[in-house]
DNA sequence: AAAACGGGGAA
DNA sequence: TTCCCAGTTTT
């Protein structure tokens, strides 16, 4: 049996029942694929169901306020996906008359749709012969062929892309793509893959050479930097001051409490000596709220401290991105996890 | 060619 | 802790 025959046979017996596999509607597939980028199926599932229910078609999606989309996206991470989806939906309405594209090249034009997602939508909606290349496919192919080229190097991406396309079953592109991804997720797992029951065991170079735990090879990235955030909880008559973050940094456009960042961890007396702090609050003494919160992102370590301050101590009156919001309207603002966790526990 | 961009589960 | 998840965009 060929590679694809084995994969497809395995798939027939082990495929996961996933809601987005029930449709050929490119809009619905797009919804699922963007949500699943760098996101585990179990984590993305509730978000998919929520978006599918709220926006049954691309026209509804495009007509929504970006704030509503961000609010629904809250907690999922990589928020640029949500903003790009909104842009893409508007593009589909304006340039394709609301008819979601299914052609690979047309899909690539949409913001947030890269090579993987374009191939996925094209193959799943029209059975177009485009091989997907995601983390699962990298892993399965690198082990099966015993390839040590790093999967995140330029040469590696090129090599695996070509190989993935060669391995594609051109008679069943959609099923083959689903199959190899499920195979990677369920059988050829990153840790402790189930080689003893593997249908590819006979031909798998990594298995035959006892290299399974060494593949795939991945270049290590830079290590995370440390950042220290000081959040100020300022309440006034049932309202609380919130600040909207700008672009060009983590959590773009999301809401949080007014914040001061320092390069070092600061004790309260050190914070009060800080020039920016004094401009904001003069010599008002902040009340420390709870312990330092450590929030880890893939590329930075954020150490956050929350302080309560009386509204009267606020010296600055005209900060464009700062505004008071009714406590009961707080859930309408899209907040990042660090803040939404705090709000849940304290409001 | 690298780095930025989130959050969470598993070992 | 470290790795990695149905990756894409920006620098």
Q: Which residues of A in 1-30 have their CB below 7 Å from strand B's atoms?
A: none
CATH number for position A43 = 1.10.340.30
Backbone torsion region of residue A114, taken as left when φ is above 0, otherwise alpha when ψ lies between -120 and 50, otherwise beta? beta
CA closest to C1' of C4 belongs to A190
- Closest by CA to A6, choosing from A253, A191, A176, A184, is A176
Q: CA of A229 vs C1' of C5, distance in Å?
A: 28
CATH number for position A254 = 3.90.79.10
Q: Which residues of A are catalytic?
A: 33
Tokens read off for A26? 């490119």
Domain count, chain A: 2
Does the residue A220 lie in any domain? Answer: no
Query: Which strand B bases fall within 7 angstroms of a protein CB?
Result: 1-11
CA closest to C1' of C11 belongs to A248
Q: Would you report the helix, strand and coil content of chain A in percent, each value rounded to 5?
A: 50, 15, 35
pLDDT tens-place values along chain A, 347 residues long? 999 999 999 999 999 999 999 999 999 999 999 999 999 999 999 999 999 999 999 999 999 999 999 999 999 999 999 999 999 999 999 999 999 999 999 999 999 999 999 999 999 999 999 999 999 999 999 999 999 999 999 999 999 999 999 999 999 999 999 999 999 999 999 999 999 999 999 999 999 999 999 999 999 988 899 999 999 999 999 999 999 999 999 999 999 999 999 999 999 999 999 999 999 999 999 999 999 999 999 999 999 999 999 999 999 776 778 999 999 999 999 999 999 999 999 99
Claim to verify: residue A155 and residue A245 sit in the same structural domain? no
Does the residue A219 lie in any domain? Answer: no
Asked if residue A2 keeps its beta carbon closer than 7 A to nucleic acid strand C, the reply is no
Judge if the upstream peptide bond of residue A199 is cis by omega within 30 degrees of 0: no
Owning domain of residue A56: 3-214
- CA dist A197 and A194 (Å) reads 6
Asked if residue A38 keeps its beta carbon closer than 7 A to nucleic acid strand B, the reply is yes
CA closest to C1' of B11 belongs to A191
Strands of chain A (E only): list them.
225-236, 239-244, 255-256, 259-262, 287-296, 300-310, 322-326
Asked if residue A6 keeps its beta carbon closer than 7 A to nucleic acid strand C, the reply is no
Per-residue model confidence (pLDDT) at position A64: 98
């Amino acid at each position: 049996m060929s590679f694809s025959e084995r994969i497809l046979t395995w798939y027939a017996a082990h495929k996961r029942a996933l809601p987005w596999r029930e449709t050929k509607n490119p809009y619905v597939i797009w919804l699922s694929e963007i949500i699943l980028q760098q996101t585990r199926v179990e984590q993305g599932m509730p978000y998919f169901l929520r978006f599918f229910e709220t926006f049954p078609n691309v026209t509804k999606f495009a007509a929504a306020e970006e704030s509503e989309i961000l609010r629904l996206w809250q907690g999922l991470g990589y928020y640029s996906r949500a903003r790009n989806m909104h842009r893409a939906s508007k593009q589909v309405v304006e340039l394709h008359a609301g008819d979601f594209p299914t052609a690979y090249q047309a899909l690539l034009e949409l913001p947030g749709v890269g090579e993987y997602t374009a191939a996925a939508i094209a193959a799943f909606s029209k059975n177009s012969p485009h091989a997907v290349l995601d983390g699962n496919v990298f892993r399965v192919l690198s082990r099966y062929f015993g390839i040590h080229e790093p999967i995140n190097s330029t040469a590696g991406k090129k090599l695996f892309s070509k190989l993935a396309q060669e391995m594609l079953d051109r008679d069943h592109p959609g099923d083959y793509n689903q199959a190899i991804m499920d195979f990677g997720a369920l059988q050829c797992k990153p840790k402790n893959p189930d080689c003893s029951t593997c249908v590819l065991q006979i031909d798998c170079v990594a298995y035959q050479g006892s290299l399974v735990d060494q593949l795939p090879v991945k270049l290590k990235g830079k290590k995370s930097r440390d950042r220290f955030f000081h959040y100020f909880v300022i309440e006034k008559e049932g309202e609380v001051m919130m600040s909207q973050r700008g672009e060009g940094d983590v959590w773009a456009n999301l809401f949080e409490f007014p914040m001061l960042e320092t390069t070092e961890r600061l004790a309260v007396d050190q914070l009060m000596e800080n020039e920016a702090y004094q401009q904001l609050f003069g010599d008002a003494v902040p009340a420390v709220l709870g312990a330092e919160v450590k929030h880890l992102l893939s590329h930075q370590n954020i150490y956050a401290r929350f302080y309560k301050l009386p509204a009267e101590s606020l010296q600055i009156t005209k900060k464009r991105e700062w505004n008071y919001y009714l406590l009961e309207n707080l859930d309408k603002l899209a907040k990042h996890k660090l803040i939404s966790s705090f709000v849940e526990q304290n409001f």
